[in-house]
């Protein structure tokens, strides 16, 4: 899979590591980065369906930033129409991450502000380096989050904490982000990427159809009344009994051996 000059893509034995690579601008998201991400995620979806890719890790180049936000220089002169298209393109990337049938983990290695926090939130979960800083500072620029921050942040950490962050523009550190449930783990900077890849690899060894179904049902159910969400789970659970992975997983357990999942 090919990257671009602002995106580095490596395939670590089925774990795709996507690095946003504009360290001089703290990896700020301009149209080129967003278009590149969309392209890489479209290719990742195809590779995941074919069983060539089992997990995706998203991170930023350099030691200072994951992504310091949407590119302010690129946004400064935008019209209402251009801003709408820009926001839609950011949302499309978020939706592409959430709808991938494989786990996506953000390895937040520094500033994750504005569009950077939103991009991390679009991943299934976040691991943070000790120097990570999270925030939605858009109000300081006279705008609001445009890549999902008002919605995904509220769903991740609750309405009151999301409103406080979006209205004050305050930045929080990795420990606080973990305390409020924005990040799942804090790690020393040098251990962040290896630990994130190790978790991605651990999930990659599970039954791929089950992983995809668990992710689909968790997201789909989050916006539904509990009874409807539970009905989704029942159907997904039952449907998995028509897969080779279910037969293999249970036979392997009973035969006291390691399963060999085929993703079917
Ligand atoms: N857009 C464009 N360039 C940015 C940027 C951004 N979001 N963030 C940092 N940069 C650039 C700086 O302009 C600077 O470039 P030059 O060296 O050419 O001057 C370079 O990155 C390094 O940044 P600083 O010198 O500012 O570094 P610092 O350590 O002093 O401060 C920082 C770091 C606190 C993250 C600061 O850069 C900052 O506040 N950045 C902006 C954060 C922000 O407001 N993000 C939200 C953007 S709006 C948005 O994202 C909307 C949306 O939801 C879609």
Q: In the structure encoding, which two tokens stand for residue 187, read together?
A: 């790690």
The per-residue pLDDT for 186 is 98
Report which of 210, 253, 254, 258 is spatially closest to residue 233, judged by C-alpha positions.
210
Question: Hey, what's the torsion of the CAs at 106, 109, 113, 118, to 10 degrees?
Answer: 0
- Distance (Å) from CA 25 to ligand 1 centroid: 7
State mean pLDDT over 11-29: 96
Q: Ligand 1 atom closest to Cα of 114?
A: 50
pLDDT tens-digit series, residues 161-170:
999 999 999 9
Rg (Cα) of the chain, in Å, rounded? 19
Residue 2: the pLDDT is: 56
102 vs 27: CA distance, rounded Å? 24
Residue 214 has pLDDT above 60, yes or no: yes
State the angle between helix axes of 208-222 and 244-254 in degrees (0 to 180), rounded to the nearest 10. Answer: 120
- By the 8 A CB rule, do 17 and 197 touch? yes
Q: 184-207 pLDDT, tens per residue?
A: 999 999 999 999 999 999 999 999
- Residue-wise pLDDT tens digits, 139-185: 999 999 999 999 999 999 999 999 999 999 999 999 999 999 999 99
The CA distance from 118 to 29, in Å, is 11
DSSP state of 70: B
Q: Which residues contact 168 (CB under 8 A, 6 or more apart)?
A: 139
In angstroms, the CA 14 to CA 145 distance is 33
Element housing 91 (H / E): helix 80-99
Pocket test for ligand 1, best of 37, 69, 142 (most atoms within 8 A of CB): 69
Distance of CA 81 to the CA centre of its chain: 27
Per-residue pLDDT tens for 99-146?
Answer: 999 999 999 999 999 999 999 999 999 999 999 999 999 999 999 999
Q: What is the dihedral of CA 142, 79, 77, 121, to 10 degrees?
A: 60
Query: What's the CA gap between 234 and 9, in Å, rounded?
Result: 37
Q: Please give the positions annotated as active site.
A: 118, 138
**Residue 3: per-residue pLDDT:** 64
Measured by CA distance, the residue closest to atom 19 of ligand 1 is 25
pTM of the model: 0.97
pLDDT band at 39, cuts 50/70/90?
very high
Cα dihedral 185, 94, 16, 110 in deg (nearest 10): -40
Residue nearest to atom 44 of ligand 1 (CA): 137
Written as one string, the DSSP assignment of 151-217 is HHHHHHH-HHHHHHHHHH--EEEHHHHHHTTS-SEEE-HHHHHHHHHHHHHHHHTS-HHHHHHHHHH
Distance from C-alpha of 149 to C-alpha of 162, rounded to nearest angstrom: 8
Question: Residues with Cβ within 6 A of ligand 1?
Answer: 25-26, 28, 68-73, 90, 111, 113-115, 118, 137-138, 141, 145-147, 149
Which residues face 132 on adjacent strands?
none
CA distance 179 to 191: 20
**Counting Cβ atoms within 10 Å, is residue 136 exposed (0-12), middle (13-18) or buried (19+)?**
buried
Q: Which of 26, 84, 86 best tests ligand 1's pocket when mutated (most atoms within 8 Å of CB)?
A: 26
pLDDT score recorded for residue 65: 98
Q: Which of 68, 84, 134, 170 to mutate to test the pocket of ligand 1 (most atoms within 8 A of CB)?
A: 68
Tell me how far the alpha carbon of residue 13 lies from the centroid of ligand 1, in angstroms. Answer: 34
Query: What value does the mean pLDDT take over residues 77-99?
Result: 98
Query: How far is residue 193's CA from residue 163's CA, in Å, rounded to a whole number?
Result: 30
d(CA 196, CA 151): 25
* Average pLDDT score over residue span 237-253: 98
Residue 1 has pLDDT above 60, yes or no: no
Instruction: Tell me what the pLDDT averaged over the chain comes to.
Output: 97
Q: What's the confidence (pLDDT) of residue 4?
A: 72
59-76 pLDDT tens trace:
999 999 999 999 999 999
């Amino acid at each position: 899979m090919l990257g671009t000059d602002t995106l580095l893509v490596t395939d670590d034995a089925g774990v795709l590591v996507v690095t946003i690579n504009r360290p001089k601008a703290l990896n700020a998201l301009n149209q080129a980065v967003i278009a590149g991400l969309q392209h890489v995620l479209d290719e990742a979806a195809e590779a995941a369906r074919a069983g060539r890719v089992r997990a995706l890790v998203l991170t930023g180049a350099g030691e200072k930033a994951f992504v310091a936000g949407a590119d302010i220089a690129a946004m400064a002169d935008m019209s209402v129409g251009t801003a709408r298209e820009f926001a839609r393109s950011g949302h499309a990337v978020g939706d592409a991450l959430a709808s991938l049938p494989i786990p996506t983990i953000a390895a937040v290695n520094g500033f994750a502000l504005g569009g950077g926090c939103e991009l991390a939130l679009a991943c299934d979960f976040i691991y943070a380096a000790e120097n990570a800083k999270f925030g939605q500072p858009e109000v300081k620029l006279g705008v609001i989050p445009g890549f999902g921050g008002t919605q995904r942040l509220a769903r991740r950490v609750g309405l009151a904490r999301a409103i406080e962050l979006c209205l004050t523009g305050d930045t929080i550190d990795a420990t606080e982000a973990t305390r409020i449930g924005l990040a799942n783990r804090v790690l020393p900077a040098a251990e962040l990427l290896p630990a994130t890849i190790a978790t991605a690899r651990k999930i990659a060894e599970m039954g791929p159809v089950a992983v995809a179904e668990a992710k689909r049902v968790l997201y789909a159910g989050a916006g539904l009344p509990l009874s409807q969400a539970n009905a989704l789970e029942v159907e997904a659970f039952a449907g998995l009994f028509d897969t080779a992975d279910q037969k293999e997983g249970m036979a392997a357990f009973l035969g006291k051996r390691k399963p060999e999942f085929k993703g079917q």
